[in-house]
Amino acid sequence: TKFSHVIIRRPGKSLSNGITSAPELGQPIYERAIEEHYDYEHALELCGVDVTVLPALEEYPDSCFVEDPAVITRCGAIITNPGADSRNGEKNEIEPVVRRFFDDEHVKHIVSPGTLDGGDVMMVGDHFYVGRSARTNEEGIRQFFEILEGWGLEGSEVPLEEVLHLKTGVNYIEDNNMLVSGEFIEKEDFAQYNKIVVPEEEAYGANCIWVNGTVIVAEGYPTVLKAVQDLGYKTLVVDTSEYRKVDGGLSCLSLRF
Ligand code: CIR
């Protein structure tokens, strides 16, 4: 795998009204969130990708989490049908951007009653693990696999019990290495990988991203950082604490392809 492009979208002031499962963390502070976003963009540039930066969309508080309304594979792009009502319209905003990179026959759609969030999709080479979650339903997964099969790719379903999205708790950093936390530590689906077990108190840190040999790790998760460095990866650390307040992390903030 090698990525050439990354798409990100600036957060808006409405980010403070993003969906959250952790209101006790407080609302994101816009001024800090935008600083963190610049740092994130800079880290991606250091990984040698071309970064497309989209403008904020105040009408969609969670729209900086561009990973959810689209899934981009090496064979084509899938515009999803996001499972949260307040986010569903984000698919119409991301589609024209995705079409800058793919022609008509390489852009497919998940349609109602199927729903799917990109945060539930984890790419491991040509295999795609898809979490069945509160956002991603059985019909969405069925459509997704049908599209993949048309492109000679394949997928398998992973039922979720605790986390919002699949990649909230499990992330592949290439070379057979997988960061696992919580409910994913013992799952049979991932038994074949070299698992890096993330301790409960650092669970949020499991959401790392691999970009062309470098692993970007969230700031404040020393066990995760050391484990990734011990595997021989170059690392970059980015503070995503404002996004954490609305359940967002490193992977959700970009589309990488
Ligand atoms: C949401 O609940 O949809 C946003 N507040 C967070 C989305 C995080 N996205 C992701 O994990 N892919």
Find all residues with CB under 8 Å of 229, minimum gap 6, and list them: 235
Average model confidence (pLDDT) across the chain? 97
What is the SS3 string spanning 5-52?
EEEEECCCHHHHHCCCCCHHHCCCCHHHHHHHHHHHHHHHHHCCCEEE
Ligand 1 pocket member 11 (CB < 6 A)? no
Instruction: Give pLDDT tens digits for 111-138.
Output: 999 999 999 999 999 999 999 999 999 9
Ligand 1 pocket member 246 (CB < 6 A)? yes
pLDDT at 109 over 90: yes
pLDDT at 11 over 90: yes
Mean pLDDT score, 218-246? 98
Q: For residue 124, what pLDDT is reported?
A: 98
Instruction: Give pLDDT tens digits for 69-83.
Output: 999 999 999 999 999
Give the model's confidence band at 1: pLDDT under 50 very low, under 70 low, under 90 confident, else very high.
Answer: confident
Instruction: Give pLDDT tens digits for 47-100.
Output: 999 999 999 999 999 999 999 999 999 999 999 999 999 999 999 999 999 999
Ligand 1 pocket member 91 (CB < 6 A)? no
Cα 207 to Cα 181: distance, rounded to the nearest angstrom: 10
Cα 20 to Cα 11: distance, rounded to the nearest angstrom: 15
Instruction: Give pLDDT tens digits for 140-198.
Output: 999 999 999 999 999 999 999 988 999 999 999 999 999 999 999 999 999 999 999 99
Cα 76 to Cα 58: distance, rounded to the nearest angstrom: 29
Q: For residue 214, what pLDDT is reported?
A: 98
Ligand 1: residue of 71, 244, 252 to mutate (most ligand atoms within 8 A of CB) is 252
